[in-house]
Amino acid sequence: MKNIVYIVLLIIVLLIGVRWYMQQSAAKEAFDRHEALIKETNECLEMAEWNCAEKNVRALLKETPDDQNLQLHLAGILYEQERYEECIAYVDSRNFKNADLDYLKQKSESLIREIQDLQLERSMHFRVEFEGRPARKDIMEALAVLEVAYDSLCHLFDFHPENKMHLVLYESSQYQGVGPRPEWVGAVFDGKLRIPVNVMQHREIYRPMFFHELTHAFVRAMTRYNVPLWVNEGIAQVIDGSRTGMAKPEGGAPSIEALSTPFVNENNTSTAVKLYWYSQAMVERLLERNASLVHFRDYIQSMRTLGNEDALQKFYGVSSRQLLDEVR
């Protein structure tokens, strides 16, 4: 009788043990799936692969529907996909206040108004928005030049942006994309390439301008990181070639701090010229060390994890101050 009781107890213990093991295994499997999903989501966000990012963020929100960080990510993804109405509706449905959510809503509302006000033309990789009545040949020429520039940059950087890019050909200052700016500023990139429509009358101006601003768009797509201005402007000038061979400006060199902040904040034209010259000279020194633009792409992509100076040391064995000293 005792043996029977012992066997029954042993069976019960074994069943409890098996059940506990299965529960632990299921919990570990669920945890591993969750961690893999988070890892993939971060990778999708970093690479601006919005379809993948949206699918994963929505899956994570099913697990934790009140996670405000995930909700902010979803609003940002809708914005990046140009689903502005959906972005606004989603922000309005949130039950918490957040400055980033407010910004996404306001920016979406502004872009909806802009799209309604401007006319549209499209090509394979671009959408052109324009106001007034520019000649259709100018619009088609802009798209043709952009497609040539796009193919060239894809080849140079061995990189293909996931999302369509936007050009705004504007007449009115309300579409120039930034607030009051110095007179020397001709075009800007703020997520869209914004170029005055009147430059389309001057091929020698608009062709390098398109290459310049499109390089900024590629840098943004490749890194999703706030790249130092001397790096960003320097490589854009190397690509567009419009300032190559210019004489070194007179006077002392600008500081690293001045070379790392937005140049459009500089009202003095001669100082701006100096900032651009030194930026190009510093990037040219990098390319003397390694001429591959694929290597340069890997360098700027690494800034997200390494930081600016460590990335510069790893890929080119130099600091920004040493570079500046070399070109003084």
| Three-state secondary structure readout of the chain | CHHHHHHHHHHHHHHHHHHHHHHHHHHHHHHHHHHHHHHHHHHHHHCCCHHHHHHHHHHHHHHCCCCHHHHHHHHHHHHHCCCHHHHHHHHHHCCCCCHHHHHHHHHHHHHHHHHHHCEEEECCCEEEEECCCCCHHHHHHHHHHHHHHHHHHHHHHCCCCCCCEEEEEECCHHHCCCCCCCCCCCCEECCCEEEEHHHHHCHHHHHHHHHHHHHHHHHHHHHCCCCCHHHHHHHHHHHHCCCCCCCCCCCCCCCHHHHCCCHHHCCCHHHHHHHHHHHHHHHHHHHHHCCCHHHHHHHHHHHHHHCHHHHHHHHHCCCHHHHHHHHC
Residue with tokens 């914004």: 194
Question: Taking phi first (over 0 means left), then psi (-120 to 50 degrees means alpha), and beta for anything else, what does residue 251 get?
Answer: left
Going by C-alpha positions, the residue among 244, 248, 256 that lies closest to residue 274 is 248
Q: What is the pLDDT of residues 93-131, one digit of tens each?
A: 998 888 899 999 998 998 888 777 766 677 888 877 776
Q: How far apart are CA 67 and CA 210, in angstroms?
A: 41
Q: What is the pLDDT of residues 223-250, one digit of tens each?
A: 866 789 999 999 999 998 888 888 888 8
> Domain residues of the chain, as ranges?
30-116, 118-212, 225-328
Selected residue with higher pLDDT from 27 and 148: 148
Q: What is the pLDDT of residues 123-162, one digit of tens each?
A: 888 877 776 667 778 878 888 888 999 999 999 999 998 7
pLDDT at residue 324, rounded to an integer: 93
Q: How far apart are CA 84 and CA 164, in angstroms?
A: 15
Q: What is the pLDDT of residues 185-195, one digit of tens each?
A: 567 777 777 88
Average of per-residue pLDDT values in the chain: 83
Length, in residues, of the chain:
328
Q: Which two tokens stand for residue 304?
A: 């997200």
> Which CATH code for domain 30-116?
1.25.40.10
Q: Which two tokens stand for residue 152?
A: 């060239």
pLDDT at residue 131, rounded to an integer: 66
pLDDT at residue 182, rounded to an integer: 44
pLDDT at residue 273, rounded to an integer: 85
Q: How far apart are CA 218 and CA 240, in angstroms?
A: 13
pLDDT at residue 300, rounded to an integer: 94
Q: How far apart are CA 193 and CA 152, in angstroms?
A: 17
CATH class assigned to 118-212:
alpha beta
First-to-final CA distance of the chain: 97
Confidence category of residue 173, pLDDT binned at 50, 70, 90 = low
Going by C-alpha positions, the residue among 117, 220, 219, 221 that lies closest to residue 170 is 117
Q: Does residue 310 carry a pLDDT above 60?
A: yes
Q: Which two tokens stand for residue 180?
A: 């009051």
Residue type present at position 46: E
Residue with tokens 């107890």: 9
Confidence category of residue 47, pLDDT binned at 50, 70, 90 = low
pLDDT at residue 87, rounded to an integer: 94
Q: How far apart are CA 57 and CA 69, in angstroms?
A: 10
List strands edge to edge, sheet with 165-170: 119-122, 126-130, 165-170, 193-196, 188-189
Q: Does residue 171 carry a pLDDT above 90?
A: no
Q: What are the residues whose beta carbons fall under 8 Å from the beta carbon of 38, sequence distance 6 or more?
A: 60
Going by C-alpha positions, the residue among 69, 131, 82 that lies closest to residue 111 is 82
pLDDT at residue 122, rounded to an integer: 73
